[in-house]
Structure 1
Amino acid sequence: MATSPLLHFCKTLAAATVWSLLLNVPAGAASFGQVIQSVKPSVVGIGTYQPTRSPAIVFVATGFVTGDGLSVVTNAHGIPDTLDSERNETLGIVIARGDKVDFRPAKLAALDRLHDLAHLRLAGAPMPALRLGDGTGIEEGQALAFTGFPLGMVLGLHPVTHRAMLSAITPLVMPSVSSRKLDARAIAQLARAPSPIYQLDGTAYPGNSGSPVYDPETGHVLAVLNMVFVKGLKENAITNPSGISYAIPVSHVRALLQQTTPPGQK
């Protein structure tokens, strides 16, 4: 039985479509689940340790390891201004070990209060590190993910992953129609050059501050989640703050890691 020209055309088109799809799938592309498993070992808690305190470890934020495996990035607002040296209080990272946690001391290497970022340095053996994106080609509507510790250590230190979408790229502070809505911090921010931030539709909690926001296909870090500093500037005009999440672009992380200025002089 002869094949009709229309049927032959449809079969040819279908075959071409299948081959096109196959050719556009990267060889060895990882699933989202595989990406999560590769990201989790680099996500750490940020906290302080004091041997005579109960609890000895106090969780303050999430962070992630990058660079040479000895650099940790987190939010600046989670870093304590002072430590109780008389009682041997130490700044460091908290590492999940199943149902247990390990504490590893770290030193503050650089601080960027303008973008609420901090760079900690570890000593000793390097940890698995996340790769930073180059900060280009990021578009509204792009799929994202972030992994962190939304509830801190309340229910144990277990990394949790959330999906999100880049809803908007907006200035950190928008001019207000009412001067009563602008506090001193917002006015100071407006006086500087506009600093864009990412607005996400993913739900996050205070413990997520400092979490890496990454490409769910590659695991490359595109931003750092911020749940306190940015919300205080963006939502001071809202009576009941929304569940919107915000993140600091990775370009500021790259700049932070290149700093050599002591934190106290920033």
Structure 2
Amino acid sequence: MTRRLKFSMILSILILLLGSFGFIYIKDEASSKIQAESMILNTENENDRQIIPEIKDIIREAQKKVVMVELDDGTVGSGFLFNDRGDIITNAHVVDGAASVKIRTTDAKGYDGQVIGISTETDVALIRVEGLEGIDPLPLSPSLSVEIGDEILALGSPLGFQNTVTTGIISGTDRELHVEPYVYENVYQISAPIAPGNSGGPLIDRKTGHVIGINSARIEQGSIGFSIPISTILPLVNVWSETPMRNLPSIKSFDVSQQIDKNKMLETSDYVISYFIESINFKDFVTAYSLLGSDWQSEMDYDTFRKKYLDITNIRIEKLTTEDKGNEVEVQTSLSITTRENQEEVIKTEEISFLIAYENDQAKIISQEIEK
């Protein structure tokens, strides 16, 4: 065999070996890349699933930052915490003519609020509540791309029923309507039912739990609602928050000493008990304990109160009625209580009467009696 033939054979073998190794390497690299991309995709999908909170959690957290706005003439609107200065965003038509208003939070506490900004062109106003300073506000998403079909939540106090939640979708965008004296431009049309008292409440994106608008108007025919995008009003409220307006149109004072309306007191008592039981179901014992009157708290400290309800897994209200008792309201309930005993769930029904009274303009549960 000649030297040239040997060299050609060796060269051919080397080429075959290098080609085989190259193919195997490229195949392994491609397989690893596909696996890595698949893992990244799966991780992203998993993260997407994780960041969408439960609707109950969204509502629970949002309700703590949504307030009822009360005027001295009996009108009621809604608002929500916009920053940690205690500033509340609401509609201009809610506080029109008022310099001072009463703010009531989800735990039935009452605060005095001062209107520090109001627009005559855009239906928005800002209320400062010193008693709410330092509390984390509702998260806002002014840059979120909103599309028809997106799921939303509308929170507020329609007809005075505090912390009402309705659900729906964005049913239209870039809508325009005229409701004297305001012209609403580029607003969201929503399918979630809203009513008088919802005005000023937040429109919340279902996926993120962030505020995307402020519920402002409705058309009775077909119950169509409209919400101003949060991006539209942020420049105004930011200016008012930094530099409050000194002169407000149609200012009138609010008499904080006015007598509490009996019907409103009955409705508030109903709500306080419902919120008390809801707090226990969520294991939010701090909130539940804060709803007790000072005398009851002096007789039972927080740790004792908490231990009393630790074994309860669920409380359901079967029946609830209220009765005026002069300066107090009696709330009679029939409760289905589920507890865990010896690794088993036990369900029992209890008839409990709660007594509600106002302490420093705040509705409190001053006592309870379990009927035998």
1:79 is aligned to 95
Cα pair distance change 1:184/1:76, threshold 3 Å = closer
* Cα distance, 1:258 vs structure 2: 1.8
Equivalent residue of 1:68, what SS? coil
Give yes or no for the alignment of 1:41 onto 2:41: no
* Cα distance, 1:110 vs structure 2: 1.1
Partners in 2 of 1:168 and 1:36 — Cα distance? 23
2:191 is aligned to 201
Instruction: Select the structure that is richer in strand.
Output: 2
* Cα distance, 1:29 vs structure 2: 4.1
Partners in 1 of 2:139 and 2:53 — Cα distance? 15
Q: Which fold has the larger relative contact order, with Cα–Cα distance below 8 Å and residues 6 or more apart in sequence?
A: 1
Contact 2:68–2:79 under 8 Å retained in 1: yes
Give yes or no for the alignment of 1:173 onto 2:177: yes
1:178 is aligned to none
Equivalent residue of 1:173, what SS? strand
1:262 to 245, 263, 267: 245
2:78 to 62, 66, 85: 62
Cα pair distance change 1:149/1:82, threshold 3 Å = closer
Equivalent residue letter for 1:258: N
The TM-score, its normalising length taken from structure 1, stands at 0.67
Partners in 1 of 2:111 and 2:168 — Cα distance? 30
Give yes or no for the alignment of 1:95 onto 2:111: no
Partners in 1 of 2:48 and 2:244 — Cα distance? 44
Cα pair distance change 1:24/1:82, threshold 3 Å = closer
2:143 is aligned to 135
Alignment of 1:217-232 (within 5 A): 217-227=207-217, 231=218
Deviations along 1:188-246, one digit per CA (max 9) or x if unpaired, are x4xxxx8211111111111111110011122110000013xxx4xxx6xxxx7331011
Give yes or no for the alignment of 1:109 onto 2:94: no
Partners in 2 of 1:165 and 1:264 — Cα distance? 39
1:11 is aligned to none
Deviations along 1:71-120, one digit per CA (max 9) or x if unpaired, are 1011110104146xxxxxx41311232xxx32201111111232211111
Cα pair distance change 1:40/1:208, threshold 3 Å = same
Give yes or no for the alignment of 1:160 onto 2:176: no
Aligned CA RMSD, in angstroms, stands at: 3.0
Give yes or no for the alignment of 1:123 onto 2:130: yes
Equivalent residue letter for 2:210: H
Partners in 1 of 2:127 and 2:138 — Cα distance? 15
2:301 is aligned to none
Equivalent residue letter for 1:74: T
2:159 is aligned to 151
Partners in 2 of 1:160 and 1:93 — Cα distance? 16
* Cα distance, 1:184 vs structure 2: 7.7
Equivalent residue letter for 1:92: K
Give yes or no for the alignment of 1:244 onto 2:252: no
Instruction: Select the structure that is richer in helix.
Output: 2
Partners in 1 of 2:230 and 2:159 — Cα distance? 24
Unaligned runs of 5+ in 1: 1-15, 50-56, 84-89, 175-182
Contact 2:65–2:80 under 8 Å retained in 1: yes
Partners in 1 of 2:174 and 2:233 — Cα distance? 18
Partners in 2 of 1:165 and 1:28 — Cα distance? 20
Partners in 2 of 1:162 and 1:42 — Cα distance? 16
Partners in 2 of 1:243 and 1:41 — Cα distance? 27
* Cα distance, 1:59 vs structure 2: 4.7
The sequence identity of aligned pairs, in percent, is 22
Equivalent residue of 1:45, what SS? strand
2:46 is aligned to 23
The TM-score, its normalising length taken from structure 2, stands at 0.49
* Cα distance, 1:261 vs structure 2: 6.3
* Cα distance, 1:34 vs structure 2: 0.9
Q: Number of residue pairs matched? A: 207
Q: Which has the larger radius of gyration?
A: 2
Cα pair distance change 1:255/1:263, threshold 3 Å = farther
* Cα distance, 1:26 vs structure 2: 4.5
Equivalent residue letter for 1:247: S
